[in-house]
Amino acid sequence: MAFVTLEVQGNVGIVTVNRPPVNAINAEVYQEMADTFRSINGMDEVRVVILRAEGKHFMAGNDLSELNDLNQSSILAYRDVVKCSVGAVYDCRVPVVAAVNGAALGAGLAYAASCDIIVASEDAFFGIPEVKIGFISAAGFASLLVPGKMVNYMALTGSGLKAQEMLDKGAVHKVVPREKLMEAAMEVAEELLANSPLIQQYFKKALHINSNARLGDQYDVEFGFSAQVLDSEDYKEAKEAFLEHRVPVYKGR
């Protein structure tokens, strides 16, 4: 695979995303993530997964060059690709630990939220900046991390939260210096390995059913509204202003 690799150390599978310079997520990354996590489900020796990234950022969101090509019909197919990929992480049969450094934005936040436990470096930053580029997505996954009103703030302003703020809200298990990130993730993995894999699998299913039965429906709602604004002047202005590093001028149409 070009951008996603899997290394197995004992009973721990380490999935690494590496798409320089900022690990922006394109169709290939989505597909490789889905394929990798599906393959893990068939590997009995893997009992815990750590999801990490090379470089400065965990995942800095969607590749904007692909979003520029979306239209009313293609956005629904794109939605299905995203749901399938992020869902493969969420539905992984074994516990998944996210080791987050730098930016976890948009779809990057969704991947982190789909993991069972998050360990973050001190420079980690979580956000849903989609509103700034005229898109509607990822808020459903943010609701797995922070309370509803904070999700509203993040989604409607495009502002994010630092690692310590996420720790204070209970979204992150531990915040450590960047050089200690993988060590901290492996410590959590060792804790998980001390328990029954069978019980963990059923416990994980129960947790998902009880707390997030409608998560897939939330993605349908968000992408449905995104489809409605694709042809708007504000959507085009948001994208252009973001790429041109200027303040957007919205017209409300």
pLDDT (0 to 100) of residue 216: 66
Pick the CATH number of 1-179+197-253 from 3.30.1050.10, 3.10.20.440, 3.90.226.10, 3.40.190.10: 3.90.226.10
Those residues whose C-beta lies under 8 Å from the C-beta of residue 246, and which sit 6 or more positions away, are none
State the pTM of this model: 0.88
Task: Give CA torsion, residues 75, 216, 136, 89, to 10 deg.
Answer: -90
Residue 212: which pLDDT band, with cuts at 50, 70 and 90?
A: low
pLDDT digits (tens, 9 = 90+) for 17-59: 999 999 999 999 999 999 999 999 999 999 999 999 999 999 9
Do the beta carbons of residue 100 and residue 112 sit within 8 Å?
A: yes
Q: Report how far residue 92's alpha carbon sits from residue 116's, in angstroms, rounded to the nearest whole number.
A: 10
C-beta contacts of 216-219 below 8 A and 24+ residues apart: 216/83, 216/87, 218/139, 218/140, 218/143, 219/79, 219/82, 219/83, 219/137, 219/140
What's the mean pLDDT in 197-221? Answer: 76
Supply the mean pLDDT for the chain.
Answer: 91
Burial 62-95 (b: 16+ CB within 10 A, else e): bbeebbeebeeeebeebbeebbebbbbbbebbbb
Tell me the two tokens of residue 155: 């989604």
Do the beta carbons of residue 252 and residue 170 sit within 8 Å?
A: no
Lowest mean pLDDT among 37-51, 81-95, 182-196, 221-235: 221-235
pLDDT (0 to 100) of residue 36: 98
Q: What percent of the chain has pLDDT over 70?
A: 96
Is the Cα torsion angle 174, 94, 100, 170 positive or negative in sign? negative
